[in-house]
Amino acid sequence: MNANKMSFNILTNCEPSISTLPIAIIGAGPIGLATAAHLSAKNEKFVIFESGHSVGFNILQWSHVRLFSSWNYNVDKVAVKLLENCGWKAPVMKRLPFGKELVEDYLMPLANLPEIKPYIQMNSKVVAISKQGLDKMKNAERGEQSFIIYVERDGHTERIQAKAVIDATGTWGQPNPVNADNVWTQQERSLSSRITYGIPDVKGKDRSTFEHKRVAVVGGGHSAINTILELANLEGTEIVWILRKNRVDEVYGGEALDALPARGQLGSRIHQLVDSGKINVHTPFLIHQVIEEDGTLTIQGSSKQKDSSIQNIDQIIANTGSRPDFSFLREIRLEIDSTTESVSALAPLIDPNIHSCGTVRPHGEAELRQPEKNFYVVGMKSYGRAPTFLMATGYEQVRSIVAHLTGDQEAATRVELDLPETGVCSSTIRGKSSCC
């Protein structure tokens, strides 16, 4: 049993020494929980704050979607060891799980392990992080001061101390708008009953919203492809696909050449569907605004520099990507790339204009290090707006960070990532890549 039995360090008059404080993990998605598994294996104290009511809360929003990477790429090795010690029945590693299975068959059992469960605080949203008694401008002994984490739960805010912080909050909760300039407007917000952000369950609970309707899907990544392939099975649904790309074939990716075959198949299936003429494709089309008139939506924009509009739309599904939330990190010294909004040192590795999914070279603590000592952004959020993140990459990130934080510098610099060699999201002939 590890040293986590100690109670959490809610601030009192008697201040604990910094070395006795836990490491705080924010977010109980796959990468946050893997961090916990690694810390537990090193007998290091930790606490996890999760804003949702369940671990894997973001994945549960797309629980009906089948992943394109098989189980063996979706689980962390140290987490698996802990699970196996407790009699976990591993899934067939070559299978592609649905989001729901990833949560129910892996993340939940992991979170329920006695080494982890007592240290997860659910329905606990981190709203700010600072350094004890310092504002961002103050240098004095900054590295030696603890972090103070402001956590909102049950309508009140607690201040909790930690010696290091690992932000694994993902980006799912902050979707981009449909507006091609990527600016949220009041008008777009007011259409929330007509625009769905994410991947609705069109075969299940959301079927009636989209069946026998004229539905516009906005976006050119794997989420849009998934959505369209599902909509195509509905009766009487007319699909309009709106993309910014110059040519629709830019989204097909590597198809048969993709190192992750399921991802390649998505490209091949959408290619066939477009060729069959069943989808009304508008590309390039830049959306300026969406207006509601006479009970339907009109999408106004431009195509090849000419004003254009698409009319009589009943519903819009926005698969336009998402962006990281830095609002609660205002008091933390951060280096974020100005283009990708990724951790700065990752930007040249992950720029989606250059790299396709899976080709990103492994990286760890050294690349993820921030000016704020012992503070790290990991997982999906570390890639900022770039859609190319894979869980396997995140597991390698946190393995290296935990090794560093627990004094094993040799392990921190070692590379242990086991990814398909050449993920092919796009060919160079077709141009840009896009994953999720």
Ligand X SMILES: Cc1cc2nc3c(=O)[nH]c(=O)nc-3n(C[C@H](O)[C@H](O)[C@H](O)COP(=O)(O)OP(=O)(O)OC[C@H]3O[C@@H](n4cnc5c(N)ncnc54)[C@H](O)[C@@H]3O)c2cc1C
**Which residues lie near ligand X (CB under 6 A)?**
26-32, 49-52, 57-59, 62, 65, 67-69, 73, 125-126, 168-170, 172-173, 199, 223, 328, 379-380, 389-391, 394, 436
DSSP 67: P
Give 284 or 433: the residue with its C-beta nearer to ligand X: 433
To ligand X, the closest distance from the beta carbon of 48 in angstroms equals 9
Residue type at position 310: I
Q: Cβ of residue 408: shortest distance to ligand X, in angstroms?
A: 23
CB-CB contact of 217 with 317 (8 Å) = yes
CB of 263 to ligand X, least distance (A): 7
Residue 242 CB burial class (10 angstroms; 0-12, 13-18, ≥19): buried
Query: Could you please report the per-residue DSSP string of 360-416?
Result: SPP--HHHH--SSTTEEE-GGGGGTT-S---HHHHHHHHHHHHHHHTT-HHHHHS--
401 near 375, Cβ under 8 Å?
A: no
Rounded CA-CA distance 405/415 in Å is 16
CB 353 within 8 A of CB 432: yes
- Written as six digits, the tokens of 97 are 């799980």
* Smallest distance, ligand X to C-beta of residue 294, A: 34
List residues bridging with 25 in a β-sheet: 48, 166
- Residue 409 CB, nearest approach to ligand X (Å): 25
Q: How far is the CB of 42 from ligand X (least distance, A)?
A: 20
Toward ligand X, which CB reaches closer, 170 or 352? 170
Q: Which is nearer to ligand X, 75 or 297 (CB)?
A: 75
Number of C-alpha atoms within 13 angstroms, CB side, residue 10? 5
What three-state secondary structure class fits 98? Answer: strand
In the complex, what is the shortest distance from the CB of residue 246 to ligand X, in angstroms, rounded to a whole number? 25
Nearer to ligand X, 49 or 252 (CB): 49
Q: Do 325 and 357 meet the contact criterion of CB atoms below 8 Å apart?
A: no
Nearer to ligand X, 13 or 327 (CB): 327
Closer residue to ligand X (CB): 113 or 391: 391
User: CB 209: neighbour CB atoms within 10 A?
Assistant: 17
Residue nearer to ligand X on the CB measure, 255 or 299: 255
Nearer to ligand X, 253 or 394 (CB): 394
On whether the CB atoms of residues 261 and 231 are closer than 8 A, the answer is no
Nearest alpha carbon to residue 237 among 263, 206, 267, 283: 206
Nearest-approach distance from CB 327 to ligand X, in angstroms: 9
Kindly tell me which of 223 and 433 has the beta carbon lying closer to ligand X: 223
Q: Which is nearer to ligand X, 47 or 242 (CB)?
A: 47
Shortest separation between residue 171's beta carbon and ligand X, angstroms: 7
Q: What are residue 392's phi and psi, to 5 degrees?
A: -55, -35
The Cα–Cα gap between 196 and 204 comes to 15
- The order of strands in the sheet holding 125-131 is 125-131, 147-153, 156-162
CB of 77 to ligand X, least distance (A): 15
How many angstroms separate the CA atoms of 10 and 15, rounded? 10
